[in-house]
Amino acid sequence: MRQSDVDIIRTQVEVVRRTNLRTGVDRPSGFRYTYLCPSPSEYRWQRFWDSCFHAVVMARVDPELAVAELRTLIGAQEPDGFIGHISFWGGSFFGDMWGRLQSTYAWRQQHTALIQPPVLAQAVERVAELLGDAWLPTEFVEPLDRYHQWLAEHRVPDDDGLLVIISPYESGMDQSPTYDEIMGVRGKAGRWGLSIRDRWLDLRNTIDNYNSDKLVRANRFRVKDALVNALYADSLATMARLHRRHGQSRMADGYASRASTVVASLMVKLWDRSRGAFFSVYGAAERRTEPLTVGALMPLVVQELPEEAAQMLVERHISNREEFFLPYPVASVAATEKSFDPRSKGLIWRGPSWVNTNWLLWRGLGRHGFHDLAAQLAERTVAMVAQSGLREFYHPYTGQGLGARNFGWSGLALDMAG
């Protein structure tokens, strides 16, 4: 890749460090927060997986801010271990209009009651690697243990070990066609029709005060998601490594066992060998979803994934220039799908390329020995971001930047550049 492109992205990241930085003291809690909002024009609050990715980006340019980002995210943790997908630091009584519908009853809205893909342990590990600080994770292990315990107690209802999500927003891929059938969409999804369905689900969940145990049983939106569970398996494996590195073998063995259970269940319940990809299942009957999206590829991040499955994911899909490896990969929906929209007009996660999923797949490619393809993906991602700036997502054919501007996690291209 061209060094000039890397330098351009570094400059873009430096700009985002200034424009997106939010600091202050949260009056009710007295907590001093420091974080990067995803985009100053579109998303002003701290968001869970955005924040994890921001920490990795900042580890490349501002180590102190990288650690502060992680500390602020942990600062939003409840005593029982829960961390919401949006934290409203310094917010007003109302906080956020839509966030209100994704929160439990409270006089002051502090955070939503939803989760997001579990990538916090991976972010802690990656930041420690980039900073060369082997002891940094010890600061975060105890809250990470409580976080994983909450997930196990409230979102893993079956002995298959798989996490259940109760809203499309919990996957981080809000309007992916993966969820169209589950949300009652027939034919082509429309912006307003799908939005109404989303808000109706939020309202019903709010009425139940976001009681996770009750909502999992209610079966309104009960999904064992391929992307979420791939990252859950990776998170458990990461926790095993963090504990083992500091001599906590018993804890490490427990996490490793749980990770193996999730991987086995991915292969039994979500793997479709005939299509060479993983598909989410939903409802009590655990019916498989049909659309081929980037989520179907995400189990590649799992180190323990059987070699045959990894090979099929890469050869049939990730490297396929008719599906995902378009001129500016990786498309969020296979170009062969009817729902594919390279611009995602009105609805997101329906075709454009996103840097965060590129970064995750880049890590997966490296873990399974596909180093040449990983290098190609890194080179094209860097060129795309250097050309169009830090945008929310990108046109997979032209590389045009789309969505929100000054979008923090697209700085992950800097980590991919090495």
pLDDT (tens place) for every residue of the chain, 418 residues total:
899 999 999 999 999 999 999 999 998 889 999 999 999 999 999 999 999 999 999 999 999 999 999 999 999 999 999 999 999 998 754 556 667 778 886 655 688 999 999 999 999 999 999 999 999 999 999 999 999 999 999 999 999 999 999 999 999 999 999 999 999 998 778 887 888 898 899 888 888 889 888 988 888 999 999 999 999 999 999 999 999 999 999 999 999 999 999 999 999 999 999 999 999 999 999 999 999 999 999 999 999 999 999 999 999 999 999 999 999 999 999 999 999 999 987 899 999 999 999 999 999 999 999 999 999 999 999 999 999 999 999 999 999 999 999 999 999 999 999 8
Domain-wise residue ranges, the chain: 3-186+193-417
**Cβ proximity of 343 and 398 under 8 Å:** no
Both tokens of residue 259?
Answer: 């990770």
Calpha distance 35→355 (Å, rounded)? 20
CATH number of the 3-186+193-417 domain: 1.50.10.10
Identify the residue whose tokens are 């054919």.
397
Label residue 135 exposed, middle or buried (CB < 10 Å: 0-12, 13-18, 19+). Answer: exposed
Calpha distance 258→243 (Å, rounded)? 14
Query: Sign of dihedral through CA atoms 70, 73, 75, 79?
Result: negative
The SS3 call for residue 271 is strand
What is the pLDDT at residue 21? 98
**Cβ proximity of 61 and 51 under 8 Å:** no
DSSP 8-state class, residue 314: I
